[in-house]
Amino acid sequence: MDYQKILEDIELEIKPMLGDGKVADYIPVLSSIDPNQFAMSITLFDGTQYNIGASQKLFSIQSISKVFTYTLALKFYADKFYGRVGHEPSGDPFNSLVQLEYENGVPRNPFINAGAINVTDALISYYHSSESTYKEIIEFIRSIADEKEIYMDKAVALSEMEHGYRNISLASLMKSFDNLDNSVLDVVQTYFNHCSIEMNTQMLSRSMLYLANHGFDPVTNKAYISPSQAKRINAVMLTCGHYDASGDFAYNVGLPGKSGVGGGIVAIVPAKMALSVWSPGLNAQGNSLAGTKALELFTTKTGLSIF
Amino acid sequence: MDYQKILEDIELEIKPMLGDGKVADYIPVLSSIDPNQFAMSITLFDGTQYNIGASQKLFSIQSISKVFTYTLALKFYADKFYGRVGHEPSGDPFNSLVQLEYENGVPRNPFINAGAINVTDALISYYHSSESTYKEIIEFIRSIADEKEIYMDKAVALSEMEHGYRNISLASLMKSFDNLDNSVLDVVQTYFNHCSIEMNTQMLSRSMLYLANHGFDPVTNKAYISPSQAKRINAVMLTCGHYDASGDFAYNVGLPGKSGVGGGIVAIVPAKMALSVWSPGLNAQGNSLAGTKALELFTTKTGLSIF
Amino acid sequence: MDYQKILEDIELEIKPMLGDGKVADYIPVLSSIDPNQFAMSITLFDGTQYNIGASQKLFSIQSISKVFTYTLALKFYADKFYGRVGHEPSGDPFNSLVQLEYENGVPRNPFINAGAINVTDALISYYHSSESTYKEIIEFIRSIADEKEIYMDKAVALSEMEHGYRNISLASLMKSFDNLDNSVLDVVQTYFNHCSIEMNTQMLSRSMLYLANHGFDPVTNKAYISPSQAKRINAVMLTCGHYDASGDFAYNVGLPGKSGVGGGIVAIVPAKMALSVWSPGLNAQGNSLAGTKALELFTTKTGLSIF
Amino acid sequence: MDYQKILEDIELEIKPMLGDGKVADYIPVLSSIDPNQFAMSITLFDGTQYNIGASQKLFSIQSISKVFTYTLALKFYADKFYGRVGHEPSGDPFNSLVQLEYENGVPRNPFINAGAINVTDALISYYHSSESTYKEIIEFIRSIADEKEIYMDKAVALSEMEHGYRNISLASLMKSFDNLDNSVLDVVQTYFNHCSIEMNTQMLSRSMLYLANHGFDPVTNKAYISPSQAKRINAVMLTCGHYDASGDFAYNVGLPGKSGVGGGIVAIVPAKMALSVWSPGLNAQGNSLAGTKALELFTTKTGLSIF
């Protein structure tokens, strides 16, 4: 298939939609981003990349980082992790306290905020400190992306913390249910740190190859997790990867994926490739508007879908 | 692959679990069923079947019928249907009114009770009467199962109606939001009628081939729905097919499927085959306990999974 | 105190507010009422009445009838009634299903719709039929109002039933929890019948004397209920009498009272008098806007308040 | 009336119930208290006191302090306060986040935890620091109780903070909705400080005289708040003073009152007297079991009730 041609066609069709969504505005640093930007990258198992648009432009990966921290947590805790964080869709906005309270402080899945905060807490317990935890997370991302120059945007991390009272509320609630081991502020700051990492679509599509290929990197042959763990992360991405629009994404796109409020989305075609798309304008559920459409066009044009 | 051997191995491993679950007891007719029963069937695209256990024993298909009515509704209404019934996971027990009230009478998806009742209402509007609707549903099922001898268990249908106040409550609530066209009692009785259809695992696995094969039957070559519609039904089965354990099923089994409180489950391996399993003992979420485990063993043993 | 002068002052102050609220529009018969109407009546223990405005104009008493049916239920069932209907404020809009579902079909109090429907059901069980129940209710009202010419508006009762799916939903939900003895449609129709009774403020203020006077009528000396039962009904009026604005009414008015969406309100000053006010424009919580204000002015001007 | 005799009768009847309830156990310091204790005090407008049981024994006043802080807030902010904290019953357990989230961070009333924390925040803004706020609160309590020797139990205050994650969660949630001005930890610590003040029933019944007497102390003639403010605090005590059993208290006791998990309750008979009772065993809603019963016996024996 001529992937470059497909990307070009997608860009043409997507152009009129750019600017339709709403850039994340809960922190000042993110709200000033130009919504008329677009990038898309495909990485095949031999490492070949196809790119379109601003594919070298860095952006805040935000919730996409939850895929990486969940990978680390699953690797070290395996299924023992299940009592702390479930893997059911939440059926509620991503930062809702209601469900967390009714379900006694056990988050529904690792991709809603409470779940990802809990995963970060588990990693801090495993790595013994928030500093070493952040270090291990970013080293892991650099490894799977095969790229050393990946960093956190400290201004974003600080600004998140300043406006992070809802996440502090979620973490405190889990702690009141004895489902958080470490200090609330430490855990939340570490969580914001990994959310504030910056990448571009080239790096992100490259970084997801291990999930498209049963847990090991087809280019470097490094094994990160077991095939069964990779399969499970993909299942959680499919059922819970897009907040309250996860069903919509499965229905229209049909690929396991994960979005972030920075406007990025990653997705995989099992046994074939990994993709990433970026456009900062968001839809009502907090997912990239043009990005979601671009992936839907991709599966329509290629017939690639897990269903 | 030696599917017969695989089914025999699964049966051996499943035996000790039989009787662990709890038979559905909300109506007397269902509560008297012996939980120590098990059956499993596989149907390939050339029509070959592999069976184990009581694969000719008829049972109440219950919520599995929702797949068939949703197929008919999608065929006739296509995406116009979306305003009436969504396709997001619900994150709440299958018969919850809470979410329906907060979301103004629009059910989250066609596989929770409210959604399936709404789908039945749409079919009655399309077919002009509850009688003709039921007739079209059962004829459709006979066609996709390639089997004429499929009938409703009238005793079950009547008993459901007698104990059906929660579903009447759901239908009345939708009607109060102007999201139900026909008479509450007519719609609910028609819904119970198609839930009370009896099939066995041979028939059920045969009946799902069209969903594994882009909407047309690979044996008879009859086209039922478009490839895109088939893909979408599969997506909804994956994200919403097992009530509040849909994430669990995706995580552990990794196939689009649908369960019913009669103890049956159907599932498909896209482009390969359709399966059905039956064991009446249910887990806490209302899905067949041994049946779910059997499908998990199947994907583990064969490596077949969409992820 | 010169009550007539006080009523005249209140009318003057209230005039500019008339028409500010929104007439109940859930059924056509009620929506056509002119909102610029106002009436207020006071009845003392010797039977003396003070009136202002359209105090002879009949209107639909609606939820005010719940006070009368609760009186009958408490009289016959006494505290045995408690397991069926509670007496706690609901903290939710008056017709919410959410709380009813979470609390297993036991309504919070007899003044939300579910509670009043349940009370009607208990009366039907006591009086053996819906016809005799309605007859006993209206005879009771005629007796406490000391007025034979009180009737139901059949057009309202029929229209309520036609648009009554939410109440049918509530009743069906209670029945699914085994907390309703009689037929859903019978109970709901009887409930709508007593809601559709028409009275004016003269009749209504007269009818409440028994609650201001420990359960017996100070004019006729008829004993209706025990002092302890009267005290309890007053307590429930204070904490639950105005839907989700009950706290507001206690805070600003400080008298036990009950409102209806027809625009009427009744209230009592214990050991002193009974009052009724009417103005069809409603506030956001479904209580008469001008009527609530008139009662607030009354307690401010007279210093009469239970606090 | 012979109040001493009435108290003696109440004590006799209450004795068999002592030890039935469950002492608050969310912090170790409180859980070790002997539940078989009882005290009751009445203070008349001339200062005369009637006491029974351990009426000089100090205990943690806990949520009773919310009456005092609300008094101060109402005094300084008057009705401007309403947009920050409502005065509706909550219909949910006292520390529920659900309602707070649905209602955008505005607590239902000043007597649920979120509301009282918000009141404390308002006082800190008024008094400029948490230290001066605590000082003003305790000085106010000493003044209305006419007793200088009233202190905080610092061990309780510290222990509350250590186990206070749910309250920190509530405060953080309000801050995320911009409904909290000061630092979360400062506000919550100040809140815990005033909850940890120790008093006995003699002091508490004395301290409530101003609310029974239109806002000014009948013994010292000091005016604390306006008659209208006193009336409103009493209304909120009646509708919201006992968490999710406020309706029950109004129904069975019929007096404005406020309970605390330390086992204390205060109540007033408007224009007549103030009361306090103490017994550490709590019922399911967190109110003193024997204390509630004692007050019910009091109103039954004396006929004193606002209804």
DSSP per position, D95-156: T-SHHHHHTTT--S-TTSHHHHHHHHHHHHHHHSSHHHHHHHHHHHHHHHHT-S--EE-HHH
Name the pTM for this structure.
0.92
Give the phi and the psi of residue A109 in degrees, each rounded to 5.
Answer: -160, 165
Q: How many CA atoms lie within 13 A of B260 on its CB side?
A: 30
Indicate the pairing of strand C39-44 with strand B264-269: unpaired
Q: Band of the pLDDT at D76, cuts 50, 70, 90?
A: confident
pLDDT tens column, D239-264: 999 988 999 999 999 999 999 999 99
Crossing angle of helices C289-302/C3-14, nearest 10°? 140
Judging contacts by C-beta atoms under 8 Å, the chain B residues touching residue C101 are: 96-98
Judging contacts by C-beta atoms under 8 Å, the chain B residues touching residue A90 are: 89, 91
pLDDT of residue B118: 96
- What CA–CA distance (Å, rounded) separates B157 from A210? 50
pLDDT of residue C44: 98
Residue B92 Cα, gap to closest chain C Cα (Å): 12
User: What would the mean pLDDT of C260-277 be, rounded to a whole number?
Assistant: 97
pLDDT of residue D220: 96
Chain B: residue whose CA lies nearest to A307: B231
**Contact residues of C toward D, CB < 8 A:** 86-92, 99, 108-109, 228, 230-232, 234-236, 238-240, 244-248, 250-252, 254, 256, 270, 305-307
Cβ B97–C96 below 8 Å, yes or no? Answer: no
Cβ B98–C96 below 8 Å, yes or no? Answer: no
| pLDDT of residue D94 exceeding 60 | no
Spatial contact of C276 and C294, defined as CB atoms under 8 Å apart = no
Contact residues for D73 (Cβ-Cβ < 8 A; gap 6+): D81, D110, D119, D122, D123, D126
Question: What region, left, alpha or beta, does residue D245 occupy, with left being phi > 0 and alpha being psi -120 to 50 degrees?
Answer: alpha
Output the CA torsion B243→B247→B248→B249 (10° steps).
70
Cα C207 to the center of its chain, rounded Å: 11
Output the CA torsion A282→A287→A290→A294 (10° steps).
180
- What CA–CA distance (Å, rounded) separates B112 from C267? 45
pLDDT of residue A94: 56
CA nearest neighbour of C305 among D71, D45, D306, D216: D306
Contact partners of A by the rule of 3+ C-beta pairs under 8 A?
Answer: B, D
pLDDT tens column, C151-182: 999 999 999 999 999 999 999 999 999 999 99
Amino acid at C80: K
User: What would the mean pLDDT of C92-116 be, rounded to a whole number?
Assistant: 84
Instruction: Give the mean pLDDT of chain B.
Output: 94
Rg of chain C (C-alpha set): 18
pLDDT of residue A95: 63
- What CA–CA distance (Å, rounded) separates A241 from A249? 9
Instruction: Give the mean pLDDT of chain A.
Output: 94
pLDDT of residue B79: 67
Spatial contact of B53 and B118, defined as CB atoms under 8 Å apart = no
Which structure tokens are listed for D210? 């101003």
pLDDT of residue C174: 96
Q: For D55, which DSSP code?
A: T
User: What would the mean pLDDT of B264-273 be, rounded to a whole number?
Assistant: 97
**Contact residues of A toward D, CB < 8 A:** 96-98, 101-102, 165-166, 168-170, 172-173, 175-176, 184
Q: Band of the pLDDT at B77, cuts 50, 70, 90?
A: confident
